[in-house]
């Protein structure tokens, strides 16, 4: 997780405080379009409103977990066809919208 660092100087001590970056994906990272690395099928898979800017409750914790699951699968090039069914349903439940279609 990336940290925003803020330095403070108070007397002879230098204090470094880390502030966690918001749990968000850029717009282009919310779309997987390509071949699944496991089965070779061509997919377009898009999620919307999956960002969790701060984990303060169970709902935002679930959104953050769905965001991490989606990012992990797309980073490895795994399409919705080869995702674990429970993970695919979890992402769909906590994302604002989910759209996927087979392209070939």
Q: pLDDT per position in the chain (104 positions), as tens?
A: 455 666 666 666 666 666 655 678 888 889 999 999 999 999 999 998 888 877 788 888 999 999 999 999 999 999 999 999 999 999 999 988 999 899 98
Domain assignment of residue 4, yes or no: no
The residue with tokens 């769905």 is: 66
Domain assignment of residue 77, yes or no: yes
Domain assignment of residue 8, yes or no: no
Output the pTM of the full model. 0.74
Domain assignment of residue 29, yes or no: yes
Record the tokens describing residue 95, joined without a space.
Answer: 């994302």
Sequence-distant (6+) residues with CB within 8 A of 20 are 1, 3, 4
Record the tokens describing residue 52, joined without a space.
Answer: 């969790």
Cβ proximity of 58 and 13 under 8 Å = no
Number of domains in the chain: 1
Domain assignment of residue 36, yes or no: yes
Range of the domain at 97: 22-102
């Amino acid at each position: 997780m990336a940290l925003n660092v803020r330095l403070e100087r108070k007397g002879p001590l230098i204090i470094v405080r880390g502030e966690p970056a918001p749990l968000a994906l850029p717009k282009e990272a919310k779309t997987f379009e390509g071949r699944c690395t496991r089965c070779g099928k061509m997919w377009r898979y898009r999620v919307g409103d999956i960002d969790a800017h701060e984990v303060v409750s169970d709902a935002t914790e679930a959104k953050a977990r769905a965001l991490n699951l989606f990012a992990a699968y797309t980073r490895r090039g795994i399409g919705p066809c080869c995702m674990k069914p429970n993970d695919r349903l979890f992402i769909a439940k906590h994302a604002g919208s989910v759209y996927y279609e087979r392209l070939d």
